[in-house]
Amino acid sequence: MTPLESLALARGTVDRVTEKRTDREWLAAAWKDPGSRVLVVSDGQALVRADDERVELVFLPPKQAPEGTRFLLGQDQDADGVVYFGVSAALPVAPDGVRVASLREVGALLGDRDAGLLTHAVALANWHDTHTHCPVDGTPTVPDPGGHLTVCPVDGTEHFPRTDPAVIMLVTDPDGRCLLARNAAWPGRRVSILAGFVDPGESAEQAVIREVAEETGIKVTNVRYVASQPWPMPRSLMLGFRADAPAGQAISVDHDELAEAYWFSRDELLAAIKAREIALPPPVSIARHIIESWFGGPLPSTWGETLPPRRGS
C-alpha cells in the first residue's frame, strides 16, 4: 500500500445510508433497536479502549446514551446491518480501561471502521456545536431527526453542514528538492509543507499558486492534485497537491506566517531528521503522507515526540 492509499482519516467501512437521513420511521426504529450503537463525542474527543494491540471506540446502546444533538452516522452492511448514531454531549464517565482521546491523537491508530466513524462524528458535532442559529434572522435552529440538516422555525430556511476547503502542497525544484517550512506559530523543530485556505471565488489550483507565492515568494507551475482527507478540526477538507518551482527563484519568507523555509533533497531531509534538527507532522496528517510519498517510503520522527531517548542508529 502506498502512503497516499492509507490516509488515516480518509478511511471507513460503514455505509452512510444518506437516503435514511430523512426517513423518520426508519430512524425511530433504529434508535429503539438495542443493537444500534451510539458514539458520544465532545470537543473532538470520544471514549476509547486501548491496549498494547489495538485502539477501539467505545459505543453505547441508545438507551444509555446521554441527551444531546443526535445524528445518523450510517449502517454497517457487513455486520448484520448495525446502525451507528453520534451524539454531541458531555462524555460519560470512563470506566476502568477506557479513556478520553481526540481524533488527532487516535485517528491513525483506530481500525478502518472506527477511524471513519470518529471522523464523521467529530465533523458533524463540530458543526452542530458552532452553527446553532439561523444566519438569516438569528433564531435558534432545530436539528432534523437525521442530524444532517437544521431548520429555522421562523423562516423555514434549511442549513447544512459546512466544510472549509484548504490546500496543502509539496513543491519541488528542478533538482528534486522539496520545500519545507516552519510556521511562525510552531515551536522548535516542527516543519511541514505549505498549506492555506481556499479563498471565496477561487479554485484549489489558484489557491496553491497564491499561497506558495505569498508565503515564500516562489512561483509554481504544473499544479496537480494528489489526494484529500477530511480534517474536522474544526471543519477542513485538506486537498493535497504537488507543484513545480522553475529554476532560478530565491525563497523570500513571509514572516507573518512562516519562521523559515528551506529546500531539502531526500538525503538532506533524512540527515536533518536523524540529527534531530527537524521533525515531521504526525502520521494522522495528510502532510506526513505526501512527504513520505515524495520521499519514497516511511520516515522517522514526529512532532511532539519526546527528546531523548534516542533510539539506536
**Residue from 58, 124, 152, 258 in contact with Zn ion (CB under 5 A):** 152
Interface size with Zn ion, residues (CB under 5 A):
7
Q: Which is nearer to Zn ion, 35 or 135 (CB)?
A: 135
Q: Does the protein bind Zn ion through residue 137 (CB under 5 A)?
A: yes
DSSP E strands in the chain: the ranges are 37-41, 45-50, 55-57, 69-76, 82-88, 98-102, 142-143, 150-151, 158-159, 164-172, 178-183, 194-197, 221-231, 236-244, 258-264
CB of 232 to Zn ion, least distance (A): 25
Member of 112, 155, 158, 164 binding Zn ion (CB under 5 A): 155
Please report whether residue 132 would count as binding Zn ion according to CB under 5 A: no
| Pairing, β 221-231 against β 258-264 | unpaired
Binding status of residue 134 toward Zn ion by CB under 5 A: yes
**CA neighbor of 2 nearest in space, from 225, 227, 175:** 227
Which pairing describes strands 236-244 and 164-172: parallel, antiparallel, or unpaired?
parallel
- Round to whole Å and give the CA distance between 284 and 269: 20
Q: How far is the CB of 88 from Zn ion (least distance, A)?
A: 22
Contacts of 94 (CB under 8 A, 6+ apart): 47, 100
Instruction: Tell me which stretch binds Zn ion (CB under 5 A): 10-18, 63-71, 155-163, 280-288.
Output: 155-163
- For cell 502520521, what's the residue? 283
Give min distance, CB of 127 to Zn ion, in A.
17
CB contact at 8 A, 117 and 39:
yes
Question: Which residue among 6, 18, 132, 139 contacts Zn ion (CB under 5 A)?
Answer: 139
Compute the least distance from the CB of residue 309 to Zn ion, in Å.
58
Q: What are the strands of the beta sheet with 150-151, ordered from one edge?
A: 142-143, 150-151, 158-159
Q: Does 136 bind Zn ion (CB under 5 A)?
A: yes
Q: Which is nearer to Zn ion, 137 or 164 (CB)?
A: 137
Residue (90 or 136) nearer to Zn ion, CB: 136
150 touches Zn ion by CB under 5 A: no
Cis peptide before 92 (omega within 30 of 0): no
Name the one range near Zn ion by CB under 5 A: 98-106, 115-123, 132-140, 142-150: 132-140
Question: What are the residues binding Zn ion (CB under 5 A)?
Answer: 134, 136-137, 139, 152, 154-155
